[in-house]
Structure 1
Amino acid sequence: MSDDGRRLDPATEAFVSHRSLLFTVAYEMLGSAVDAEDVLQETWLRWAGVDLGTVRDRRAYLVRITTRQALDRLRTLGRRKESYVGPWLPEPLLTAPDVAEDVELADSVSMAMMLVLETLAPTERAVFVLREVFGLGYDEIAEAVDKRPAAVRQIAHRARSHVAARRPRGVVSTAETRAALAAFRRAVETGDLQGLLDLLAPDVVALSDGGGIKQAMPRPTVGAGKVARLLAAGVAAWGPVATVEPTHVNGHPALTLRIDGEIDLVVALRIEDGAITGIYSVRNPEKLTHMVRETALSR
């Protein structure tokens, strides 16, 4: 049914009912909400021309179209990243707190995990996402990526090993993340250098994405001392016009910094063994468009 109560045609109804799933597939493959939306538009155009009488499983068929379109877009996006100014970070999504209730989904879209997915080749990324996050069978995935099932099994094994070596160790609860963020916020706002040092892992890595539009760190900053001093200096430069607020980004507690009421910065953390090991700050305004309203994610 449409928002005004009218009955939708079968093709539109199937697309609308699976839209959040298709967006999640595309976003996990691309790390860009804008590109994921474009993929959904392309998926709809192709789906609208399909004879539904030939389709056994509409969900699987839609996922297959979305995957193929995302793979094409992923290769284009890779070329775009080569000329990107400074570190590239995934586009943050404002999400409802209940996304965290699906632990596997929240983990798969976390900023830390999305960065791990960036290290996979396009087909590996597609296979990993479809198998490990959405639980598709090897035959279904083979059709989506145009490979034989035996080859997909090998790709899945290789991708799992690659991700396992790089993903955050252990599951961090929402409560732990929220507590770490609160302590991090207090230390940053008060310029408490020692407080920051107590929170940061010795080999913490800070990444800042300004996209050449906003000032940001041109390269990763590594080490608790360097990162703590950088954070303290940054807050001092923003002054009293800046406000820091808790929010939910990619299924996890995060922080937004506003200047004169406008979102200037989104900060997500990677936490391992009780310490902050990664700080991901997105300032590129072109990547903050999905922080205005919540984005629905589903599996």
Structure 2
Amino acid sequence: MQFTTPVPVIKSNFPISYDSKIFSLGSCFAVNMAEKFDHFQFRNEVNPLGILFHPQALERFMQSASEKKSFTETDIFYHNERWHCFDAHSDVSHSDKETLLTNLNNAIVLTHDYLKTASHFIITLGTAWVYRKSDSGNLVANCHKVPQREFSKEVLGVDDISRSICHIVELISQHNPNAQTIFTVSPVRHIKDGFAENQRSKSHLLAGLHSALENTGNCHYFPSYEIVMDELRDYRFYAPDMIHPNQVAIDYIWEKFVSCWISENVSADMNEVDAIRKALAHKPFNPDSEQHRKFVSAVENRIRKLRERLPFLGFS
């Protein structure tokens, strides 16, 4: 796919390969990119506490993981017949209190391990708009459909965002000084905040992020937001909700990311993984035929050969 005004991307000197260990964190666009990593069988973990939208929620989570915080009953609450945590997404919520606490603490342990072992962190900022619980004064990561009257809404300032980013980088560096961190701003439009408010939010994120990156090492910027806003520039690249980029846009951003951040040495293996996954998804007309048995045998042989070099690959 070719466009007339491509957003420039620079080939990284620290590319991702099948030896890499990737930790993705942030908005729902982080999930889109993680699904691509999963498709090509890279070692990738994404959002152990679910989607986190704003920089201070990300900072709080990374601080908790750095300290190996233990969640207790004081950190959760019961609402609409489920147990929730204001530091986690609703996807993590559960009808059983003990299960929620176990899942929260498992997420902390997992993230603490990745803090020490990941080669690349990919962090996606979604919005600068935040909600503050009126009784505690604490910012929340998710409101969990608690009545809006219990919160006040505000926008994070550029300096607040920059400080959060710097602290996240500092936490990563303390545990893992050689890790590379890739920041990006999500192209998902938070229209529920308002059109002007969405632009204000994104501008604060961009200004705060770039201010932080000017003074940090091992950190990089990937222009997901700019690719959609300035290169694709058309509602046909959005899903029917006109908020989320559609699959064409996601695929295009992934192509850009690959050209910038994925080692050229793994292209053949990525193509083979892709071909095997498509073969496994094939639905035969006659599963009992000799032709299909030969097809299955050939695919299994390709998987065996690939696993000789990449034993961690999993196909189903």
State the TM-score bracket (shorter-chain normalisation): under 0.3
Q: TM-score, normalised on structure 2?
A: 0.24
**Which is helix-richer, 1 or 2?**
1
- The structure with the larger Rg is 2
